A and B are shown apart, each in its own frame.
Chain A
């Protein structure tokens, strides 16, 4: 009856503002508080820790059979595998997923702008969330850049290169155009560097960025840009905080997937978008790489399982079927070794390599890397990089970078249904086409390939 009376009074007064302010759905909020904004960044299940996969399909880490090719669930996979001119039919997660991360990060940054911290503690938390949001945005732009933009040094293409549309606000109606490639990389580095001082040294949850992750990511980006000294500096900073390695002698190979998520090497968690090829038992490691491992190299057992028709890769640092594309100490050590070698510090480079490989060989069998028969320390390091960082979503960027140096350039070949496909070094097909939905809706320029 009280409610009735209340309603009647409300009614008569026609002052219904409060009555109508009730949220219509209890599960839905307008994200405003710091907790709510942080919760948006923690949305790994919605793709905050997901990277593209289509370049991995195009790279030379894996091969498949005609049946495996026919069994690909999506035409995108078939197109990417044969370096077809067109890849996407309408939309593509490889393009939209990083942009979703950018959208979330921009919502958070916009929300922080409108948030008034009430005390010092809140002010610090606000800065931390801002640093994290920028890290995710920088990470996402880099994932896009290695797929959808050319390498800045591609000698076949000397014109001003197209970068990415850079979205820096959550306004979905904002008109965008493609920027210069240099602007794109400036933005990536700026976003990654911006909040370093506000990030904690180590992660609290591996899906969240830390100072170590920002350094590691900057090492990765600068290596790609061939800024070896900067890459080295950032690798040192990252490894100064933590340079733990997992001894592969301790890895159980009895279970289907070799690794657990609890892995001291992991700096920042990221996984690759799943396509059907990743779960197919007919997706095999490129035999060229498989043959490169020495007999007492534990990786041969830890990474692969023979399926009769070939070797499947089961060594994901995610501990499951998804491929790990995050940052881990082994990658940073290899960045460091390569940078050192390129800067002429060959003995330091070998030292770094040895400290990594010691944990990869059967206990007591590794006696330092054998330099005989190799042309250069660099070549050796690149070979080890190939063996160590397989199926990590890194190879495509490496191919693009190394192809800019004639001595290291590689031609890729594949045969499917009797037809041979060839990908020349520095080919425009190293730049993936943007999904048609984007071209149709925003009218941005398509990549020519």
Chain B
């Protein structure tokens, strides 16, 4: 594999460079040679050293080396990782190139993978912990703007979450309840503070995911959620300048607004009519706030008041029934998204200097007309080997700029608004204030108070720019053969500049100016908000300094091999935010005007007192960490490996008592390469390794403190007195501790003869200790909730990856299977929330209500008693009998008495990948599966229907006449708002469905030309993503994992060139 070779080459040249001495000046003769495998495949990056000296070179891509030697007998020692080192005797000068063949060592390439923890790179063979790797080939399989997307489905242990909770990805399930749930991202040895969107996936060489305590505990208090270590591309020693170019275009279909099945528009208007007849809109009709009513209801008012005839009413109502806002939006606002990506890089290196320069440009057209975003990335990395190769200097600079431009905002419309007439002319819609009020105004001083959505397409100017700069310098000094000192420093800064200009022509601005139009005592009108646009500006500037010093020791004596590292790290991170709003802004003249934020003005339409919205604000945060870490491993006879790791973190976490600021975390591990034992003679499986680790990682919650804390707020927010004030954020918690995650991991790595089948199986148990939990408090305490170390949780499961080489001839067929199984359970959570909270939760809300003994994300429901045969009311069960006494049912319900339907997150997730290739042609497909979860499906909710939302299509199946209860479970339409009745149905067991499904995620087709003159490689590829479901358990028309919008299909085409 490419990445293995790269790392081997890198390691070889590092070792070589470290051992080189100054070349003496004397007459020499060039000795050329070629290093290859026994199959005559060249080995690039092999080390060729003149034995007894430190002189040597690394072979080039053709496996060729040139060494200048003085005349006489010499021995060349040739070595390459994974191959047996040989000594070749020669006599200089020599007339012909020498041929050197290296034999593979007993172990295959697979087991020689190098894994990176961010502190060290070590051969996977010597690791005890749980590492998952994604190599360059796998990273480049997908087409995406973002790096994270490329990890989906290909990383064992890493699962993408599709239900709320604020954690888009988790490693081996969620490790926390309410603290930070995101894995730590490490790029080039340092935790990355910036947005992951700033990383160009084309710059990434490989990714290692640290899954257990032994792998991650070197990251201490931030490793509780696992660690993702990203390594960027580096130049290779001994290679000619190499230019690569990759370009692709990805077409993503426009959103399908009809995906969620909804009721007919005509039914919706009928509902409005019946509500109107019952006086439902009476209060809104006469509201002093001039609340809006839909076009249909306005027609009904006109008919009632005799302002239109029955015939006209019917004609206009019929017309309304033929409109559908979704078709209008699809036609006028949406378009297919097009993402373009171009990336170029130049890399190469000599023995003393290696370099890589890369440039990337992404240009994405949004699926909303007028909106787009782009990204420019520029990076360079240089490595120099100095001072007789005892000193290595590495300098890297990474710059990324992202722009997001939004000129169109989606309007918020009634279900049957029409945006253009038959002639294509833009039409106004009802917005903000009632139609009757707007039409009744006859005041030339006011700005036009109508909203014409089509006229506002492209009118706004909202530009968000993010620039990210990362620069690092690393010095490594080799004190002796065994001991190295590293000092590394990283500076990072990120600036976000949001500039939102909303011109006066937009409804938003005209509306605000009109609302703040003042009637003076002499009936004269004045404007409290001046004419002109609104300019919202906000800037975030963040920067961090990280400094690390580290000693690394490696020594082999006979059968003993010891390696260790230790050091310390300092980090200082700060971020400041400033926001401001300007009124009366003119982009043309670049000026704005003052407004009076203090006076409480009477708003024009309802005469209430209001202040002009103030858009200013400031905030700032500082995080500081001081950490010490150590890691050691001992290998005996290449069979037994013992590892240990410890880290102590201290931070300025707010108000943590000084003696509790630090948290020591440690881990230990053991590995046994069983296949190295003399008694091992299972020839079908020549490689077998057992691993076991145990230890602790930590997690942080910045929102809790040991002291009472308060935020200071400005008088602008204090409408009556205008006094600045303070609000209590946090009641004191003297027992505050950091979260700890205790992890046990058992692993088995194996490989069959000639690598036909290989893989690893791991079993893990995670115990979350002292997890932060929010508990409800008696309100008489002054707070209604309280966060502290109240909770514990247990997660266990398997990760498995199996790789098979099914056919290995002219046609190659490789397959792999990833299987992740995670089961979690809240084991300690003292307080129970209201039943309604458990039921409402897991529908995408970020508030979490854990219940002891259940998975953190669970679906619960009320037992269903069917529909009342007399009136179609939904029935629950009260004391075992069907009942519509909802208040009593809800009151009697306890967390134990309601139904637990299952976890909301899948317990089994995985991928089956197949890759078939023949000559240059290659075809691969990923089939993914998710099992074990349930979801609550949507259905008709009359409360939201009555409040103007287009209801679910189940409305058409509602109970209408006695007897319908035998064929439908959809309740009848009630006469008035009744939240309890809706909730009885919404949270009943009949709406819970199983989420199990299998989908064909993607297909990639490529053709590689390797025989075109002038090119090393030229690859054409096509990639189709989100192809579709192959099977699902539920009969519903929707995708169980994407219930509000189906995953949009995309088609990408690309070209990759290496010169």
C-alpha spacing A205/B282, complex, angstroms: 40
Contact (Cβ within 8 A) B719 A441: no
Cβ B728 vs Cβ A103 within 8 A: yes
Closest to A21 in B: B652
In the complex, chain A residues 78-101 whose Cβ is within 8 Å of any chain B Cβ:
86, 89-92, 95-96, 99-100
Complex Cα distance, B780 from A92, in Å, reads 11
Which residues of B228-286 have CB atoms within 8 Å of chain A's CB atoms? 279-280, 282-283, 286
| Complex Cα spacing A8 to B717, Å | 44
Contact call A67/B283, Cβ cutoff below 8 A? yes
A26-B621, A49-B720, A67-B283 are known contacts. Are A43 and B727 too (CB-CB below 8 A)?
yes
B651 at the interface (CB under 8 A from A): yes
A173 vs B788: C-alpha distance in the bound complex, in angstroms? Answer: 12
Q: Are A7 and B572 in contact (CB under 8 A)?
A: yes
Contacts of B731 in A (CB 8 A): 170, 172
B726 interfacial by beta-carbon distance below 8 Å: yes
**A-contacting 9-mer, from B312-320, B379-387, B702-710:** B702-710
**8 Å CB interface, A169-184 against B:** 170, 172-174, 176
Tell me whether A371 is interfacial, beta carbon within 8 Å.
no
From B173-181, B527-535, B604-612, give the one contacting chain A: B604-612
Number of interface residues of A (CB under 8 A): 84
Q: Once the chains are docked, how many angstroms separate the CA of A46 from the CA of B702? A: 23
Mask of B602-638 contacts with A, CB within 8 angstroms, 1/0: 1000111100000000111111101010000000000
Tell yes or no: B836 within 8 A of A by CB: yes
Asked whether B725 lies within 8 Å of A27 as measured between CB atoms, the reply is: no
Residues in B whose Cβ lies below 8 Å from that of A90: 834, 836
Q: CB within 8 Å of B: which of A1-39?
A: 3-4, 7-8, 10-11, 14, 16-17, 19-31, 36, 39
Contact B489 A28 (CB under 8 A): no
Residue B776 is within 8 A (CB to CB) of chain A in the complex: yes
Residues of A within 8 A of B655 (CB): 30
With A42-B723, A172-B783, A255-B602 already in contact, the answer to whether A437 and B778 are too (CB < 8 A) is yes
A172 near B607 with CB under 8 A, answer no
Beta-carbon contacts under 8 Å, B708-730 to A: 708-713, 717-729
Min CB–CB distance B759 → chain A (angstroms): 43
Q: Which residue of B549, B576, B626 has the most chain A CB atoms within 10 A of its CB atom?
A: B626
Which of B653, B661, B711, B718 is close to A44, meaning CB atoms less than 8 Å apart? Answer: B718
Closest to A282 in B: B283
Among A26, A319, A438, contact of B779 (Cβ-Cβ < 8 Å): A438
Is B786 in contact with chain A by the CB < 8 A criterion?
A: yes
Cα distance A167–B779 when bound, in Å? 11
**What residues of chain A lie closer than 8 Å to B712, measured between beta carbons?**
27, 29, 36, 39
Chain B residue with Cβ nearest A49: B720
In the assembled complex, which residues on chain A have CB atoms less than 8 Å from the CB atom of B707?
30
Q: Is the CB of B626 within 8 A of A19?
A: yes
| Bound-state Cα–Cα, A308 to B283, Å | 12
Cross-chain contact of A27 among B286, B628, B711, B778 (Cβ < 8 A): B711
A44 touches B725 (CB 8 A): yes
Query: Smallest CB-CB separation from A41: which chain B residue?
Result: B725
Residue in A10, A104, A438 whose CB lies within 8 Å of B570: A10
Q: Name the distance in Å between B558's Cβ and chain A's nearest Cβ.
A: 37
The docked-state distance in angstroms from the alpha carbon of A172 to that of B782 is 7
Interface residue from B606, B650, B710, B717 paired with A256 (Cβ < 8 Å)? B606
Q: For residue B76, which residues in chain A have a CB less than 8 angstroms away from its CB?
A: none
Contact of B626 among A11, A49, A96 (CB under 8 A): A11
In the complex, the answer to whether B609 meets A320 with C-beta atoms within 8 Å is yes
Beta-carbon contact of B725 and A165 below 8 Å: no
Q: Please tell me if A162 contacts chain B, counting CB pairs below 8 Å.
A: no
Q: Nearest-CB distance from B987 to chain A (Å)?
A: 15
A431 to B619, CA, bound (A): 45
Complex Cα spacing A106 to B728, Å: 12
Contact of A24 (CB < 8 Å), options: B576, B622, B721? B622
CA distance A420 to B337 in the complex (A): 61
Asked if B658 and A17 make an inter-chain contact with CB atoms under 8 angstroms apart, the answer reads yes
**A52-98 CB contacts (< 8 Å) to partner B:** 67-68, 70-71, 75, 86, 89-92, 95-96
| Cβ B976 vs Cβ A70 within 8 A | yes
Question: How far is it, in angstroms, between the C-alpha of A99 and the C-alpha of B728 when the chains are bound?
Answer: 13
Partner of B728, one of A23, A104, A280: A104
Contact yes or no, A103 B547, CB < 8 A: no
A269 sits at the interface (CB 8 A):
yes
User: In the complex, A24→B621 CA distance in Å?
Assistant: 5
CB-defined contacts of B1031 to chain A, threshold 8 Å? none
Residues of chain A with a CB closer than 8 A to B979's CB: 75
Interface residue B322 (Cβ < 8 Å from any Cβ of A): no
Bound complex: CA A213 to CA B942 (Å):
49
What are the residues of chain B within 8 A of A103 when measuring CB–CB? 728, 781-783
Complex Cα gap A90–B729 (Å): 22
Is the beta-carbon distance between B622 and A91 smaller than 8 angstroms? no
Write the B278-317 contact mask toward A (1 if CB under 8 angstroms, else 0).
0110110011110000000000000000000000000000
**Neighbour of A67 across the interface among B282, B621, B650, CB < 8 A:** B282
Determine the main DSSP class of B at the interface with A: mixed
Interface string of B718-762 (1 = CB under 8 A from A): 111111111111011000000000000000000000000000000
Inter-subunit contact B619/A26 (CB<8 Å): yes
B780 touches A438 (CB 8 A): yes
Residues of A contacting B713 in the complex (Cβ-Cβ under 8 angstroms) = 45
CB distance from A46 to the nearest CB of B (A): 5
The reply to whether B728 and A19 form a contact with Cβ atoms under 8 Å apart is no
Cα distance A205–B719 in the bound complex, in angstroms: 12
Interchain CB contact (< 8 A) of A261 among B720, B778, B781: B720
Q: How far is the CA of A167 from the CA of B658 in the complex (A)?
A: 30
Bound Cα distance A23, B621 (Å): 8
Tell me whether A376 is interfacial, beta carbon within 8 Å: no
Are the CB atoms of A20 and B619 closer together than 8 Å? no
- Taking a contact as CB atoms under 8 Å apart, the answer to whether B780 and A176 are in contact is yes
User: Could you tell me if A16 and B782 are in contact, using CB atoms closer than 8 angstroms?
Assistant: no
Which residues from A are CB-within-8-Å of B682?
none
**Contact assessment for B283 and A71 in the assembled complex, using a CB-CB cutoff below 8 Å:** yes
1/0 per residue, CB under 8 A from B, across A263-295: the answer is: 000000100000000011110000000000000
B33 CB within 8 Å of chain A = no
A4 to B572, CA, bound (A): 11
Residue B977 at the chain A interface, CB threshold 8 Å: yes
Asked if B620 contacts A26 (CB within 8 A), the reply is yes
- In the bound complex, do residue B652 and residue A20 qualify as a contact, i.e. CB atoms below 8 Å apart? yes
Using known A-B contacts A8-B547, A11-B549, A67-B283, determine if residue A44 contacts B720 with beta carbons closer than 8 Å: yes
Return chain B residues, CB-CB under 8 Å to A96: 779, 784
Interface residues of B in 37-60 (CB under 8 A from A): none
CA distance in complex: A284, B721 (Å): 30
**Interface 1/0 per residue, A114-152 and B, CB below 8 Å:** 000000000000000000000000000000000000000
B545 within 8 A of A: yes
Flag whether A40 is at the interface (Cβ < 8 A).
yes
Q: Please report the C-alpha to C-alpha distance between residue A24 and residue B778 in the assembled complex, in whole angstroms.
A: 29
A207 to B280, CA, bound (A): 39
Smallest Cβ distance from B485 to chain A, in angstroms? 14
Bound CA span A29–B618, Å: 15
* With known contacts A42-B721, A46-B725, A23–B608 Cβ distance under 8 A: no
**CA distance in complex: A155, B623 (Å):** 63
* A255 and B547 alpha carbons, distance in the complex (Å): 65
Least CB distance, A302 to chain B, in whole angstroms = 15
Q: Smallest CB-CB separation from A257: which chain B residue?
A: B607
For A172, the chain B residues whose CB sits under 8 A away are 731, 777, 781-783, 786
| Shortest Cβ-Cβ A-B pairs, 3 listed | A103-B782, A256-B607, A442-B778
Listed by A's residue number, 5 A-B pairs whose Cβ atoms lie within 8 Å are A14-B628, A28-B710, A45-B719, A96-B779, A307-B286
Give 7 A-B pairs besides A8-B547, A22-B624, A40-B728 with Cβ atoms closer than 8 angstroms. Answer: A7-B572, A11-B549, A29-B726, A30-B708, A31-B708, A70-B977, A440-B776
Could you list which residues of chain B lie within 8 angstroms of chain A, going by C-beta atoms?
279-280, 282-283, 286-289, 489, 545, 547, 549, 568, 570, 572, 576, 600, 602, 606-609, 618-624, 626, 628, 650-655, 658, 661, 702, 707-713, 717-729, 731-732, 776-784, 786, 831, 834, 836, 887, 891, 976-977, 979-980
